[in-house]
A = this chain, B = another copy of it.
Amino acid sequence: MFHKILIANRGEIALRILRSCREMGIRTVVAHSQADTGSLPVRLADESICIGPAEARASYLNIPSIISAASITDSEAIHPGYGLLSENAAFAEICRACGITFIGPSPEAIRLMGDKAQAREMAKQAGAPVVPGSTGPLEGVDEAQALADKMGYPVVVKAASGGGGRGMRVVRSREMLARAFATCQSEAAQAFGSSELYLEKFVEETRHVEVQVLGDRNGIRVHLGERDCSVQRRYQKLLEESPASAISEATREGLCKAALAVANAVNYVSAGTVEFLVERSGEFYFIEMNTRIQVEHPVTEMVTGIDLVREQVRIAAGEPLGYKQSAIRVSGHALECRINAEDPEHFVPSPGTVTAWLPPGGHGVRVDSHMMPGASVPPYYDSLIAKIIVHGRDRAEAIARMQRALGETVVEGVRTTIPFHQKLLADPVFVSGEYALPRLEVGL
């Protein structure tokens, strides 16, 4: 097992990783920007090292800085967390070249899954249904038009290396296609350095359901059930739950089987997530595979009791999973609310200093947060300040518990999305757990 791990991330996930390392007896080095010098993860780390100024480009995305930070602190491995460098194949390769273990999948797997068109092909070959669309990058707008006419509208134009909704347009008529194509091309070029686009049939009403998988270096792979992440705003997830209430047992099994097939097809190692769109009919389509730990991983931990970060570290150290699919049981129901420092109506970021902080507690409540009285929420990074996760014997109990927990949470100095979550949890459509999503969500 490793003796020392460098954490190349910030905020709640840096603390999350630190906690598992500490429980495993592994020393931690938190690499941080000048803006995060006083942050809780830095204060709690065994060692910390400043790797650059506030701007992520010059610090958290500064590969040479992070690699030398690892080498001068004698760190044997780097945990990239989520976002930032976590899905950067080049970074994973450099770690390998420098003899540092990248805690995650192989650069090859990251690269393959990072290319949407390739990933789609691969999933198709593995037997996972995909949304009808172009088999590879589009030659030009003419090919796009021909294909769209054949499939029928609406269609969606997507950047091959896109994500988070950037470089993406829904097109409802032939006339709109040309302009959408051009916009996406330029967005893609500047956002991802590649203007490759592809085209898909647009599925009107969907649920976003993803499956958590784990694979070790010996080729043992398991799934840890699914998460429903349909409550989103502009492709940003706001609430996640496990299990998914809106799908049938048959659909659940189909999703998990398809997810494992995809993971097996790329000999996937470490923790990963296979995302699907699920239609009301139960029809589902592979969207993409995320080759990192995800923000919403705690809901899976709550229902399975398995510490996913610990598993990532064990797998990276070459340890076998040590259990089979049959050993994994999903019990009860878990919800996660992402509390952002944003105003709850228009979701405008609200950076500042947290003057008062009191997290919720009690039975079935977990809080993952780097907040403390006096914590600063810098404007340079995402505005996630806390994840409140609850577990209940069933969905109704979990919802009541989350409402209780949100009601006793104290955050002063910045505005938060808590009022939004309270509204959402009280929405009868959401509470019903049916396929349809609350108007609320649409209204955002």
Q: Is B362 touching A397 in the complex (CB atoms < 8 A)?
A: no
CB neighbours of A90 from chain B (8 A):
none
Alpha-carbon separation in the docked complex, A389 to B77 (Å): 31
Partner of A361, one of B20, B24, B25, B359: B359
Q: Is B362 touching A365 in the complex (CB atoms < 8 A)?
A: no
Q: Is B363 touching A301 in the complex (CB atoms < 8 A)?
A: yes
Q: Is A24 touching B307 in the complex (CB atoms < 8 A)?
A: no
A376 to chain B, nearest CB (A): 15
Q: Is B25 touching A363 in the complex (CB atoms < 8 A)?
A: no
- In this complex, which of A356, A369, A408, A410 has the most chain B Cβ atoms within 10 angstroms of its Cβ? A408
A1-40 interface code vs B (CB 8 A; 1 in, 0 out): 0000000000000011001101111000000000000000
CB neighbours of A359 from chain B (8 A):
359, 361
* A residues 325-376 touching B (CB-CB < 8 Å): 331-332, 356-359, 361-369, 372-373
Partner of A404, one of B23, B356, B403: B23
A16 with B332: in contact, given A44-B408, A373-B373 (CB under 8 Å)? no
Task: Offer 7 A-B interface pairs, CB within 8 angstroms, sorted by A.
Answer: A23-B400, A23-B401, A305-B331, A361-B367, A362-B367, A362-B368, A364-B366
CB neighbours of A368 from chain B (8 A):
361-362
A366 with B361: in contact, given A22-B404, A24-B400, A404-B22 (CB under 8 Å)? yes
CB neighbours of A367 from chain B (8 A):
361-362
Q: Does A81 contact B (CB under 8 A)?
A: no
Q: Does A393 contact B (CB under 8 A)?
A: yes
Known A-B contacts: A19-B362, A23-B397, A298-B363. Give 12 more (CB < 8 A).
Answer: A16-B362, A16-B363, A19-B404, A23-B401, A307-B364, A358-B372, A359-B359, A359-B361, A361-B369, A365-B366, A366-B366, A373-B373
Alpha-carbon separation in the docked complex, A364 to B363 (Å): 11
Q: Is A332 touching B305 in the complex (CB atoms < 8 A)?
A: yes
Q: Is A305 touching B404 in the complex (CB atoms < 8 A)?
A: no
Q: Does A254 contact B (CB under 8 A)?
A: no
A311 to chain B, nearest CB (A): 12
Alpha-carbon separation in the docked complex, A307 to B15 (Å): 29
Q: Does A407 contact B (CB under 8 A)?
A: yes
Q: Is B356 touching A373 in the complex (CB atoms < 8 A)?
A: yes
Alpha-carbon separation in the docked complex, A298 to B306 (Å): 20
A253 to chain B, nearest CB (A): 24
CB neighbours of A358 from chain B (8 A):
357, 372-373
Q: Is A305 touching B393 in the complex (CB atoms < 8 A)?
A: yes
Lowest 10 CB-CB distances: which A-B pairs, in order? A361-B367, A23-B400, A19-B362, A22-B404, A23-B404, A358-B372, A307-B363, A23-B401, A301-B363, A44-B408
Alpha-carbon separation in the docked complex, A20 to B365 (Å): 12
* A residues 235-258 touching B (CB-CB < 8 Å): none
CB neighbours of A356 from chain B (8 A):
373
A88 to chain B, nearest CB (A): 26
Q: Is A19 touching B363 in the complex (CB atoms < 8 A)?
A: yes
CB neighbours of A44 from chain B (8 A):
408
A126 to chain B, nearest CB (A): 31
Alpha-carbon separation in the docked complex, A365 to B362 (Å): 10
A388-405 interface code vs B (CB 8 A; 1 in, 0 out): 000101000100110110
Q: Is A362 touching B372 in the complex (CB atoms < 8 A)?
A: no
Q: Is B373 touching A366 in the complex (CB atoms < 8 A)?
A: no
* A residues 291-320 touching B (CB-CB < 8 Å): 298, 301, 305, 307
A73-115 interface code vs B (CB 8 A; 1 in, 0 out): 0000000000000000000000000000000000000000000
CB neighbours of A301 from chain B (8 A):
363
Alpha-carbon separation in the docked complex, A305 to B400 (Å): 15
A201 to chain B, nearest CB (A): 40
Chain B residue at minimal CB-CB distance from A16: B362
CB neighbours of A361 from chain B (8 A):
359, 366-369
Alpha-carbon separation in the docked complex, A298 to B400 (Å): 19
Q: Is B22 touching A407 in the complex (CB atoms < 8 A)?
A: yes
